[in-house]
Every structure is written in structure tokens, then in C-alpha cells.
Amino acid sequence: MGAEVRTIACDESGSEGENLVASQHPVFVHASVNLAVEDASEIRDAMRVSMQAQAPEMKSKTALAPSNRQALLGALARLRGAANICLVDKAYFLTSKLVALLMDARTSEVGVSIGELGYGRLYADYLDRNAGSAVGTERWDAVLGTFNRLIRSHQRANSQPPTVEPFFAALNDAMYHCDDEWAQELLFALWHARHLAYEYEGASKVELRELDPLMPTMTAVARTWAMRIGDTPFEFLADMYSGLTPEVRRYIVDAARMPLFVGDRPLPVPDLRGVTVADSRSDARIQIADVLAGVGREIGRLAFAGCFDDELQVAVHEMLDINIMASTGSPLDVLVERRPLPYCEKRSPKREDA
């Protein structure tokens, strides 16, 4: 008889699909919990009573109200060892896509992958940390914004699909107003790979799903749960989301189960059996994940404001996912590195490339 398949319920916060530059929230958060239905219901019901929640569904907005802080901290204490919060810096995620889809694709044409060699991470890190000051914030935002619009599948609903010209113009402007030598070299490398951007003109919505962070995040989170629960088989149970089509759910499972190395060190291969969806209104586990995702967004906001020791950040630190998507030294990176993560018995690579 095979081992019982656990259900890891999950939800996200700050999701605006492929809108990464003009987004309201700079951080995308994926939260997940390893709870039995009965335990989740008990925690949810206790929160509703202590927070005097009136809505039929427990939501993070209620839990994060200042008047409910102590009740929230009490609920979080009950989730220790059974929860995970993964943080994604949207601007970094987009920068890494810019490097991967142009620079890495260009070197792959001659049989060399900067991604596999680890340079893709290095280049995206440097640009994310330095390009804004090197070329000016407005110029760098223009590069990212025009690239975002070019490859965003949402734009394909328009009868006039986006062209490469605005992106080329923004990249050229940044390249010739750069006062950082290495940043300028990287911008020149992107310029020399610009011809690859033509394939995104007029591409269909089915062909393009590059910028929604949900898929790579769930893949990374699956590997973290393998660190948390070992070889135990599990499935993801997610809230209803239009992007989680059957095709996308199969992709997440296949990608998560694929062996992956950082250098010569293998990452955990999770025994992920599937991804299913359900209406959060009828599942307390997803409601708990929703609250946790809202908490993740709040601690990310605090980190970007320079705060790393708020009681909420301390309370959930053990829940933080080691596989964050953010540049080295960024506020989210500092937050995760602030204290040890007990489930990481050995030092593991902190992130997966986007």
C-alpha cells in the first residue's frame, strides 16, 4: 500500500498576472500550509471569533487590521512547522526574464548557456541592483516597462499587437546614458541580442506565459516542501485561478519533478503528484493560506521600508521559503537571511532562477 498523499493548500497575494512593472504591489507572495481539514477549520474558526470577523470567508485584510494583531500572532504560532511563505520581487523577476529570453537565448545559439553556467543569475543580480542608479530610474523603468508590454500575453487581446520599437528605443537610450562600466557591458550584450525580441511580436496568448510568476514559484515551493517533509508524496490544492489551466498544472508537476542542479549540488526532487483547484469559500485550508499570503505581502512591504525586526516578521521567519526570487542583498534577501531557517539542515542554494 502506497504512502498517503498529503494536501498542501496554497494561495497567493499581490498577483497581477503578467503586469510586473506598473503593478500595485512590488512583491508577489505564494503561501502554503500543510494542515488537515479539521485543524485548518479549528484555526480559522478561532480567528473568526477572536477577530470578530463578519464576512463568510476569512481573508487576510481582516487578519491584518491593527486591532487584530495579537489574535493574528496567536494564530501564526499554531502554524509553526506547517506553513511556507515564498517571496518574489517582481522587478527582479522581470529583469531575470530579460536576461534569460535575450542574453541567454543568444549564447545558447552557439551552444553555451549562461543560465546553466550561473552567469544569468549574476547578470540579473547586477542589473537589478545597479541599473537604476547607472542609467537613471526613469530610463531603467522604461526598459523594463517596454519589455514587459512586448512579451505580456494580455496584450494579444488588442487588435494591434505590440512591436519591438519602444523596447529598442528604451534600451538604446539606457545604453548610451550609463555611467557604470559593467552595467553598460550588460546593456550592450542585451542590445546585440535584441533581434530575438522580434519573435514576441504578435505571438499568441497560448504561446506566451513567460511573465506570470505563479508557475516558477509553485515549482520552487514544491522543492522547499520536499525539504520540509522529505520524500512524502503530496499534491497542491490551490484557489480558483484562471491561469492554472490543466496544461499549466501539468507543467508545474513536470518541472518540479525534474532533477535540477546548482553547480554540482542537486536540489530536492519533490514527490509532487498533482495540482488541483477548489473554491476557497468551501475550504478552510485555502483561507488560512490566503491569510498567510497577506502576511507575506506585509512583511515584504516592511522590508522594502527598511524594517526587518517587526514582531510579524519575527513570528513567521521559520515559514520563509529559502528559494526566494530576489537579488542578492535586496530587502527580501536581507529579510530571509536575518535569522537561521531550521528546516535547512545544510546550507542550500537560496533561489531558483526565474
- 245 & 160 share domain: no
- 259 & 327 share domain: yes
Cα separation, 131 vs 1, in Å, equals 56
- 73 & 116 share domain: no
**Average confidence (pLDDT) over 34-47:** 95
- Nearest to 141, CA basis, from 94, 189, 208, 83: 94
Encode pLDDT of 308-335 as tens digits: 999 999 999 999 999 999 999 999 999 9
Domain count, the chain: 2
- 105 & 77 share domain: no
- Nearest to 299, CA basis, from 262, 256, 334, 343: 334
Angle, nearest 10°, between helix axes 181-192 and 165-175? 150
- 60 & 84 share domain: yes
Domain membership of residue 206 (yes or no) is no
Encode pLDDT of 250-275 as tens digits: 999 999 999 877 666 778 899 999 99
Q: Domain with 28 in it: what CATH number?
A: 3.30.420
Cα separation, 170 vs 167, in Å, equals 5
> Of 200, 224, 240, which residue sits at a domain end?
200
- Nearest to 65, CA basis, from 331, 328, 312: 312
**Average confidence (pLDDT) over 132-151:** 93
pLDDT at 93 exceeding the cut of 50: yes
Q: Which domain holds residue 229?
A: 6-88+215-337
**Average confidence (pLDDT) over 208-214:** 72
Query: What count of other Cβ atoms lies within 10 Å of the Cβ of residue 278?
Result: 15
pLDDT at 22 exceeding the cut of 70: no
Task: Give the pLDDT confidence score for residue 5 in this predicted structure.
Answer: 94
pLDDT band, residue 152 (cuts 50/70/90):
confident
- 312 & 231 share domain: yes
**Average confidence (pLDDT) over 265-291:** 92
Domain membership of residue 345 (yes or no) is no
Task: Give the pLDDT confidence score for residue 205 in this predicted structure.
Answer: 52
- 89: CB partners within 8 A, 6+ apart: 26, 27, 128, 324, 325, 326, 327, 330, 332
Give, in degrees to the nearest 5, the angle at Cα 353 between 347 and 354. Answer: 140
The distance from CA 20 to its chain's CA centroid, rounded to whole angstroms, is 11
The distance from CA 323 to its chain's CA centroid, rounded to whole angstroms, is 9
Task: Give the pLDDT confidence score for residue 117 in this predicted structure.
Answer: 55
**Average confidence (pLDDT) over 233-240:** 95
Residue with cell 497542491: 236
What value does the mean pLDDT of the chain take? 87
**Average confidence (pLDDT) over 32-59:** 92
- 224 & 193 share domain: no
Q: Between 114 and 135, name the one with better pLDDT.
A: 135
Encode pLDDT of 100-119 as tens digits: 888 876 655 544 454 555 67
pLDDT at 208 exceeding the cut of 50: no
Task: Give the pLDDT confidence score for residue 101 in this predicted structure.
Answer: 87
**Average confidence (pLDDT) over 208-231:** 88
> Of 166, 200, 234, which residue sits at a domain end?
200
Encode pLDDT of 70-80 as tens digits: 999 999 999 99
- 38 & 173 share domain: no
- 121 & 230 share domain: no
Domain membership of residue 207 (yes or no) is no
- Cβ atoms of 12 and 30 within 8 Å: the answer is yes
Domain membership of residue 123 (yes or no) is yes
- 254: CB partners within 8 A, 6+ apart: none
- 330 & 181 share domain: no
Domain membership of residue 208 (yes or no) is no
Q: What is the pTM of this model?
A: 0.90
Task: Give the pLDDT confidence score for residue 289 in this predicted structure.
Answer: 97
Domain membership of residue 210 (yes or no) is no
- 253 & 320 share domain: yes
- Cβ atoms of 316 and 86 within 8 Å: the answer is no
> Of 146, 172, 200, which residue sits at a domain end?
200
Task: Give the pLDDT confidence score for residue 155 in this predicted structure.
Answer: 46
- 109 & 194 share domain: yes
Domain membership of residue 351 (yes or no) is no
CA-CA distances (angstroms) from residue 297 to 72, 218, 254, 313, 318? 15, 17, 28, 11, 16
